[in-house]
Amino acid sequence: MSRWVLWVMLAVCIKVHADERSVEFDYRRAPAWPYSLSKSGVSGWVVYNLKAHHDGKVSAPEVLDSSHPLFSLSVVNVAPIWRVKPWVVSDQRPAVISLRQEHYFVHSREGNAPVPWLHRSLRHMTCARFNKRLDDFQQNSFGLEEIDMSVFRHTFKVLARVATYRRLSDERRFALGDALADAAPEIIQRCRANPELRYKDVLPDQVRMML
């Protein structure tokens, strides 16, 4: 099953395992928006891992990818006070379950909704910016593939939203996602060689038309 099919089925832009879906949060205060970024109207996101414990505790927040260090710090600071609903340890549910999560800080100037903001950001992103995000991802996300970096995940997320809005068939949805995944190495190569281009300009034609 392709990565695109999995993401469409799960309606998220990151992979989710069965154990993760069995964990429910009981208390989850939103990360504080860093004052300097809020005042400047800066939006962003953080992708991170957590450990959920059977007694309800949450521990070991680890940032995997982020648009700004202050957003990362905000998530790391608040996560230890979160709580999940306790569960009985069994063969099916271990005592500790790893969770991969995302949090979006979307400023009111951007309309508060993550996907429209991501859509606008992708349309205007330069290859120079893409290259910087790729460098950061490669430095901080050991063991993950380039297709898991934030820009590609966000592109999948936007494609899923647009495909739903345009009522595309499942076949066309899957073809779009697979075209993006297959083209990832070429996209990276072209942006490296042409930082003055826009990210949108180096996407496969059928993907670019959706953005």
Supply 198's token pair: 């826009």
In a domain, residue 96? The reply is yes
Inter-residue contact 164 to 8 (CB < 8 Å): no
Best-predicted range by mean pLDDT among 137-141, 168-172, 200-204? 200-204
Average pLDDT over residues 3-15: 43
Residue 168, in any domain of the structure: yes
Give the pLDDT mean for 109-130.
88
Residue 1 in domain: no
Query: Distances from the Cα of 38 to the Cαs of 1, 90, 113, 204, in angstroms?
Result: 40, 44, 16, 35
> Residue 201 sits in which domain range?
113-211
DSSP calls for 28-63: -PPPPPPHHHHHHT--EEEEEEEEEETTSBEEEEEE
Q: How much is the CA Rg of the chain, to the nearest whole Å?
A: 18
Among 86, 106, 126, the domain boundary falls at 106
Last residue of a domain, one of 87, 106, 125: 106
Quote the CA–CA distance of 9 and 56 in Å, as a whole number.
Answer: 28
Any domain includes 6:
no
Within a domain: 52: yes
CATH classification of the domain holding 42: 3.30.2420.10
pLDDT the model gives residue 6: 42
Show Cβ contacts of residue 85 under 8 Å, excluding neighbours closer than 6 positions. 23, 24, 25, 26, 56
